[in-house]
Each structure stands twice: as structure tokens, then as C-alpha cells.
Amino acid sequence: MRILMVCLGNICRSPLAEGVMRDKIGKYNLQAIVDSCGMGGWHVGEAPDSRAQQVAKNHGLDISQLRGRKFSRRDFDDFDIIYAMDYENYHDIMQLARNTWDRQKVRMIMNEVYPNENISVPDPYYGVLQDYETTWEMIDEACEAITKKLQLNDGVQF
């Protein structure tokens, strides 16, 4: 299973999601690959925002080695599931989809916890550290749900 986490700039939500998901995959000894990217290219090559790194560190994870990159159409070929952090990014990804197969891969991450509710993970960038903590909690909950699905399906696409 190849999973891609997508937000706007790839310095806040999606690197947190990548870090959380990688940690859960390791803890549960699952076979999956996780990456993250952003819809915009403003932060290509940059490390995650210092506040995202701090929240991850507070939870025992180091995401400092991650680097921002921009979403490309090739990601549809390279990943089995593409998780958008909010509806705007979901919409933008769907606009780049080449066909039905591409569109079937794209999901709102919080729908794993609250099916069909299309809840967005708020972008904490213009907020304070507590906003990053709230983002962490939402992402952790969603990644736990994804992990359970991976365990139940033994790595088969769901």
C-alpha cells in the first residue's frame, strides 16, 4: 500500500500526517509506504514548519528530515490512496485527475473517522502552537483508523 498525504504547502498538516502514519505503520509492522506533498510549490525543499516539528517532537516523533514537494500528476501512478487534508485540496487534486481510476484514489482524510462528512483538518499555519496540537489530534485519529483498515485488509487496497 502506497499512501500520499496532501495539504496546501507541505509544511504543516501533510508532514505531520506522514510522520504519524509512518510511526503507526512501524508500530503495527505493516507493509506500506507513506509520503506527503503540497498543492503549492512555495515550500519545495523546505523542512516542516517549526511548530509542526515541535508538536511532533512533543509526541515522540522527529519529522525534521522531511522536505516539501509539490503534487504532480505522476502521484496518481505512484500511490494507491491520496488523502487530502481539506476540501479545497481535495477539489484541486480532483481537477488534476486524468480519469476515473485517478479520482477513485482521492479521499478526505477525516472521512476515515467520520465517513462522508467531508470534515477538513484546519490549516494551523496562521495560528499558534495549540492549533498545531489540534491538527495533530485530528490526524492521529484519522491515521489510527487507516491503520486499522490496513490491519483488517492485510495490506490489500481498501
pLDDT for the residue numbered 126: 96
- The residues that are catalytic are 7, 13, 123
CATH class of 2-152: alpha beta
Element of type H or E holding 138: helix 129-152
Note whether 68 and 35 are within 8 A (CB): no
CB neighbours of residue 60 within 10 Å: 7
* Cα separation values, 35 from 20, 138, 146, Å: 11, 18, 15
Question: What is the residue extent of each domain of the chain?
Answer: 2-152
The pLDDT tens digits of the residues spanning 67-112 come to 999 999 999 999 999 999 999 999 999 999 999 999 999 999 999 9
Note whether 17 and 109 are within 8 A (CB): yes
The residues, ordered by sequence, that sit 6+ positions from 10 with a Cβ below 8 Å of its Cβ are 36, 37, 38, 43, 44, 68, 69, 70
pTM of the model: 0.95
Closest CA to 5 of 38, 42, 30, 31: 38
CB neighbours of residue 71 within 10 Å: 24
The pLDDT tens digits of the residues spanning 8-21 come to 999 999 999 999 99
Where residue 152 falls among pLDDT bands split at 50, 70, 90?
confident
